[in-house]
C-alpha cells in the first residue's frame, strides 16, 4: 500500500501488486502498515471520495466498500453489484482511517483477487464547525411539508390503481396520485420548505367521527440517531427514487406496530401510546413515526415494499442491509383533542398508523445536507445550515 499526500491536500493511497515473476512492486514502495490487496491503511482520518480497483481475474459481482476509524468496527459506504472486471473506478463518500473491499457473500471473500486498489480523498477536518458557539451537536436537518391533498391512491403499494386504496393525506409533492413515478414527481410542485424537496410523503387520513382532520404541523426530520457515531459519520444520502414504508396498516393490535406512537403536544404527563391518547383541552394530537435507516444498497423498492430496508441492531446496520441512510422521522400535529373512541384512521385504529416516503430530493442538495449536517453531527434547519 502506498500513501501520498499532495500539496492540495488530496490524498492518494495506492496498493499495487505485480504478479510477474521476480518483479518489484510498481510505483512507490508500500508502507509497513499495508495488509493485503483488499484493505488499505490511509495513515489518518480521511474523507474518501473515490476508489479504483484493478481485478486480476474474474470479479466478485457483489461487494462492498467499507471504512473504519479503528480497523475493527466497519461501516459500508457503498455496495456494488454487476462488476465487470478489469480496471473500474467508483465514486464513494465516507470517512475513516481504513478502507476495505468486502464480498457481500462472505464465502466469496477469498475470490477477491485484486492487482490494484487506489483510494482517493483528503485529510478529514471535522474541527472547524465545533468552534461556532451556536452549533448544536445533533445530527439533523428537516423539511416542513404542509398538507397538499387527499386521494384513495397509493403509488407504492397499489401503483396504477386509482381509487383502490383507503384514503391517504399527501404532503410535499402536489402531483402525487396512483400513477406517480420518479419522472412525474420530478415535474410536480411542492408544499415543502425547502422548495427543492420534491419528495412525496403520505399517511392514512385521520377522522374525527366522519370528519376528515388534516395536520397543521407537518415536520419531516432527517436524523443520524440510532447508530454509533462512526456509523453517523458514514451515513449516505438516499438514492433518488428510493421508496420506504414505516408502520403497519394491517396491525390487529398495538404490539403489531413498533415504529408509530401517539402523544399530546406540550403535555408530557400524558403517556404516549400506539393507540390514540386522550389529550387535554387546548392540546393537539401528535403522531410520531420512525422509518428504517438501513438500506440493502441495491433495490429502490421490494415486493413487500419493506424488505429492502431494515432497522439498525446494536448501533449499526445489519450485514443484510449494510448501507446507513438518514432516519426519517415524521411528526404530525392534528388540531383535535376529541376522545380516542371518536377517532379513527382510514386504515383502522390508531395502531395501524403508517407512512410512505418517495424520495425526490435533488441529489446535490440531499448530499450537501448529509455531508454538512448528519455526518459531522450538527443540527441544521430546512435550509441545510446550522
Lowest-pLDDT choice from 66-75, 118-127, 161-170 = 118-127
Please enumerate in sequence order all residues whose Cβ is within 8 A of that of 358, keeping only pairs 6 or more positions apart, or say none. Answer: 155, 156, 173, 176, 180, 182, 185, 199, 200, 201, 241, 242, 243
Q: pLDDT value at position 15?
A: 43
Summarised one tens digit per residue, pLDDT across range 26-45 is 444 332 233 457 898 888 88
C-alpha grid cell, residue 185: 414527481
Q: What is the pTM of this model?
A: 0.86
Whether cis (ω within 30° of 0) applies to the bond prior to 295 is no
Per-residue pLDDT, 12: 44
Work out whether strand 343-345 and strand 243-247 pair parallel, antiparallel, or are unpaired: unpaired
Give residue 8's pLDDT.
Answer: 34
Is 257:275 a contact under the CB 8 Å cutoff?
no
* The 211-213 sheet, strands edge to edge: 211-213, 206-208, 343-345
CB 31 within 8 A of CB 17: no
Average pLDDT on 341-354 reads 97
Position 106 scores a pLDDT of 85
The mean predicted confidence, pLDDT, of the chain is 88
Instruction: Tell me if 237 sits within 8 A of 339, measured CB to CB.
Output: no
Say if residues 79 and 322 touch (Cβ distance below 8 Å).
yes
pLDDT at 11 > cutoff 80: no
Q: What is the pLDDT of residue 54?
A: 86
pLDDT for 36 = 57
pLDDT tens track for 252-261 = 999 887 789 9
Rounded to 5°, the CA angle 166-262-286 comes to: 90
Give residue 84's pLDDT: 84
Q: Regarding predicted confidence, which is higher, 233 or 128?
A: 233
Q: How confident is the model at residue 125 (pLDDT cuts 50, 70, 90)?
A: low
Q: Give the mean pLDDT of 135-158.
A: 97
Task: Measure the CA–CA gap between 87 and 39, rounded to whole angstroms.
Answer: 17
Is residue 20 predicted with pLDDT exceeding 50? no
Q: What is the pLDDT of residue 28?
A: 40
Give the whole-angstrom CA distance, residue 7 versus residue 98. Answer: 22
pLDDT for residue 290: 97
Give the least confident one: 31-40, 109-118, 238-247.
31-40
Considering only residues 18 and 78, tell me which one the structure prediction assigns the higher pLDDT. 78
- Least confident range of 103-117, 209-223, 273-287, 336-350: 103-117
Amino acid at each position: 500500500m502506498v500513501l501520498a499526500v499532495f500539496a492540495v491536500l488530496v490524498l492518494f493511497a495506492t496498493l499495487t501488486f505485480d504478479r510477474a515473476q521476480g518483479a518489484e512492486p510498481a510505483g512507490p514502495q508500500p508502507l509497513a502498515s499495508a495488509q493485503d490487496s483488499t484493505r488499505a491503511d490511509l495513515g489518518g482520518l480521511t474523507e474518501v471520495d473515490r476508489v479504483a480497483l484493478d481485478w486480476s481475474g474474474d470479479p466478485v459481482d457483489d461487494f462492498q466498500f467499507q471504512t473504519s476509524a479503528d480497523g475493527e468496527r466497519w461501516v459500508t459506504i457503498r455496495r456494488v453489484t454487476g462488476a465487470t472486471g478489469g480496471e473500474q473506478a467508483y465514486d464513494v463518500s465516507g470517512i475513516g482511517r481504513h478502507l476495505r473491499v468486502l464480498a457481500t457473500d462472505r464465502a466469496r471473500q477469498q475470490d477477491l483477487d485484486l492487482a490494484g486498489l487506489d483510494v482517493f480523498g483528503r485529510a478529514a477536518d471535522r474541527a472547524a464547525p465545533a468552534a461556532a458557539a451556536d452549533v448544536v451537536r445533533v445530527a439533523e436537518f428537516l423539511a416542513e411539508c404542509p398538507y397538499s391533498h387527499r386521494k384513495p391512491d397509493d403509488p407504492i403499494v397499489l401503483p396504477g390503481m386509482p381509487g383502490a386504496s383507503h384514503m391517504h393525506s399527501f404532503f410535499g409533492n402536489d402531483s402525487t396520485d396512483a400513477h406517480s413515478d420518479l419522472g412525474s414527481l420530478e415535474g410536480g410542485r411542492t408544499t415543502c420548505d425547502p422548495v427543492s424537496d420534491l419528495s412525496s410523503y403520505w399517511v392514512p387520513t385521520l377522522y374525527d367521527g366522519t370528519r376528515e382532520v388534516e395536520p397543521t404541523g407537518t415536520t419531516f426530520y432527517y436524523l443520524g440517531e440510532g447508530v454509533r457515531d462512526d456509523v453517523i459519520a458514514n451515513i449516505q444520502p438516499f438514492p433518488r427514487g428510493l421508496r420506504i414504508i414505516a408502520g403497519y396498516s394491517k396491525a390487529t393490535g398495538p404490539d403489531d406496530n413498533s415504529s408509530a406512537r401517539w402523544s399530546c403536544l406540550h403535555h408530557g404527563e400524558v403517556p404516549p401510546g400506539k393507540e390514540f391518547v386522550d389529550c387535554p383541552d387546548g392540546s393537539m394530537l401528535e403522531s410520531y413515526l420512525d422509518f428504517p435507516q438501513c438500506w440493502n444498497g441495491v433495490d429502490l423498492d421490494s415486493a413487500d415494499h419493506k424488505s429492502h430496508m431494515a432497522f439498525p441492531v446494536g448501533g449499526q446496520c445489519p450485514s443484510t442491509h449494510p448501507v446507513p441512510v438518514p432516519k426519517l422521522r415524521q411528526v404530525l400535529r392534528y388540531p383535535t383533542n376529541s376522545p380516542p373512541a371518536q377517532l379513527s384512521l382510514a386504515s383502522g385504529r390508531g395502531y395501524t398508523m403508517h407512512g410512505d416516503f418517495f424520495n425526490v430530493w435533488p441529489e446535490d442538495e440531499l448530499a450537501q445536507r448529509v455531508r454538512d449536517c448528519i455526518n459531522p453531527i450538527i443540527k441544521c434547519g430546512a435550509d441545510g445550515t446550522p
